Chain A
């Protein structure tokens, strides 16, 4: 059981380049999330998708776009990368249902923007 998978694991970009981070889950979860984690800080929510066909902004959405391609896949796009977007990006998924809802995380993508 793969759980939540993310590609790529590592990426180096130059300022202004674009890229898409891919995420897929095989747990039939309704909700999916993208977070970023910076040194010494906890995770901050970029975007989330409560269900297939819907997306909403989180705490730090500027500079990012997302696509919920189907129930399994949720991608994050950087249209014009900036050094401030150097971070570790985590995708997560959950049932999204109520007080016992637990999020399951992927291994992360380590992105450096030069």
Chain B
């Protein structure tokens, strides 16, 4: 059974800092890995999707990497802003169209 872990569970940083969020998974037979953002009281918004054959994806100040062999992904946020404050969730897709989610990292960027 796939298990996804995110460390740290919570993170507080000053504005402008570069930061890394971590995600690890136990079964490397994945189709893709996604990073989502969730604002308080809201649904999830997809940020980046890395296919199993890819190593990284970039969108603006966000860069996500994938190392299937070690079961790890990182989400790098450059020059963090208060508007980046949210919970970030990673999820892996295995066979059968099912996503398995990590518990999330709650990020606070202080002005």
CB–CB B103/A105 < 8 A: no
B36-69 to A contact mask, C-beta < 8 Å, 1/0: 1000011111100101110000000000000000
Stretch at the interface among A11-19, A63-71, A91-99: A91-99
What does the 1/0 interface line of B67-111 toward A look like (CB < 8 Å)? 000000000000000000000010101001111011110000000
When the two chains form the complex, which single residue of A96, A98, A102, A108 contacts B43, counting CB atoms closer than 8 Å? A108
Do B53 and A99 touch (CB < 8 A)? Answer: yes
Q: A-B contact count, CB below 8 Å?
A: 63
With CB as the reference atom, state the residue of chain A lying closest to B54: A99
Question: What is the 8 Å Cβ interface bit string for chain A, positions 82-114, against chain B (1 contact, 0 not)?
Answer: 000000001010101011111111111000000
Q: Which residues of A contact B6 (CB under 8 A)?
A: 42
Name the distance in Å between B98's Cβ and chain A's nearest Cβ. Answer: 6
Q: Do A101 and B43 contact each other (CB < 8 Å), given the known contacts A42-B101, A94-B97, A96-B97?
A: no
Residues in A neighbouring B32, C-beta threshold 8 A: 99-101
Q: Is there contact, CB below 8 Å, between B103 and A90?
A: no
- Report yes or no: A99 in contact with B52, Cβ–Cβ below 8 A: yes
Interface 0/1 of A1-22, CB less than 8 Å to B:
0001000000000000000000
- B residues at A contact (CB < 8 Å): 4, 6, 9, 31-32, 34, 36, 41-46, 49, 51-53, 89, 91, 93, 96-99, 101-104
A-B pairs with beta carbons under 8 Å apart, 15 shown:
A31-B97, A42-B102, A48-B98, A50-B97, A90-B44, A92-B44, A94-B97, A100-B32, A100-B49, A101-B97, A102-B49, A105-B36, A105-B43, A105-B45, A107-B42
